[in-house]
Structure 1
Amino acid sequence: MPDYIGLLRREERSVENLSPDEAQRVLELYLDWTNRLDQEGRLRASHPLTRTGRLLRADGDALSTTDGPHTESAEIVGGYITITADDYDQATKIFGTHPHLRFGPIEVRRIADESCSEE
C-alpha cells in the first residue's frame, strides 16, 4: 500500500481568536483523529512544524539563505501527516475527516517510490 502525505495549510491568523478552551478542544480532536489512525495501522508520522525556517537557493556555486516563513500566499504549512492508503480516493476520504479542515486545506500527495514520479 502506498503512503500519502497531508500538508496542513492554514492562514496564519486562523487560530488567533480561539479561546483557551476552544484551543484545547481542537488539540483533543487532532489527537483523537491521529490516535484512531494509529490504531487502524494507517498512521506513519504526524508532526507540527515550527513557524520559522530557512529557504535555500543556489546561484551557480553560491548558496544563499533567507530566514522566515516562506510562502507565496497567506497560507502557511503548519504540519504534516503521513498515512498509508490503497489509493488517492481512500487517502482523500481519510484526510477528509481531519478536524484541521475547519482552519484550512489539506494538500494530499502520494509519496513516490521513485524520484519525481508523476503517479
Structure 2
Amino acid sequence: MRYLLMISADEERTSQSPSAEGHRAFTAWLDDLSERGVIRAHEGLRPSHTATTVRVRGDEVLLTDGPYLETKDQIGGFALIEVDDLDEAVEIAAAHPACAFGQVEIRPLREQ
C-alpha cells in the first residue's frame, strides 16, 4: 500500500539550518528507506510564505499569498512510501527526525 507522509513543524524552529547531527539522522532515515526499497519520492518544500493558495468561488479565481491555513505548523516536506501496511508506515514515520520537534501525518493513497 502507498502512503504519503506529510512532515510538518513550527517554521520558526525549522527555518534554521539543521545541525550536523540532524543532517546525519535524516540521511540515515532516508538511506534506510532506500535500502528497504520502500521510498518512491521525497522532497522538501520552500517556506510557506512562498506559497500561493488558489480558491474558486463562482466564476472568480481568488489567489492568496501564503499557506492555506494560518498556523505555526506548516508542511515542510513529504515522502511517498510503499509498504505492506499501516504499522510499517507508522514505524517509518516515527523514525523521521522531525518527529522530535514536529509531526508526520500519514495518509493512504487511493489505489486505482
Q: Same fold (TM over 0.5)?
A: yes
Work out the number of aligned pairs and report it. 110
> Deviation digits for residues 76-114 of structure 1, max 9, x if unmatched?
100001111111122111211111111201000111115
Corresponding residue for residue 24 of structure 1: 20
Corresponding residue for residue 100 of structure 1: 98
Counterparts of 1:45-56 in structure 2, within 5 Å, are 45-51=41-47, 52-56=50-54
> Deviation digits for residues 44-83 of structure 1, max 9, x if unmatched?
1111011121100001111011111332421110000111
Matching residue within 82, 85, 98 for 2:83: 85
List runs of 5+ in structure 1 lacking aligned partners: 115-119
Deviating above 3 A after TM superposition, structure 1's stretches of 4 or more consecutive aligned residues are none
List runs of 5+ in structure 2 lacking aligned partners: none
Corresponding residue for residue 3 of structure 2: 4
User: Secondary structure of 2:19's partner?
Assistant: helix
Cα distance in 2 for residues equivalent to 1:67 and 1:32? 35
TM-score where L is the length of structure 1: 0.83
Question: Do 1:55 and 1:70's aligned partners in 2 also have CA atoms closer than 8 Å?
Answer: yes
2:57 is the counterpart of 1:59: yes
Cα distance in 1 for residues equivalent to 2:111 and 2:37? 20
Deviation at 1:15, TM superposition (A): 3.5
Cα distance in 2 for residues equivalent to 1:72 and 1:28? 31
Percent identity over the alignment? 28
Q: Which amino acid aligns with 2:108?
A: R
Counterparts of 1:103-114 in structure 2, within 5 Å, are 103-114=101-112
Q: Which amino acid aligns with 1:3?
A: R
Structural RMSD (CA): 1.7
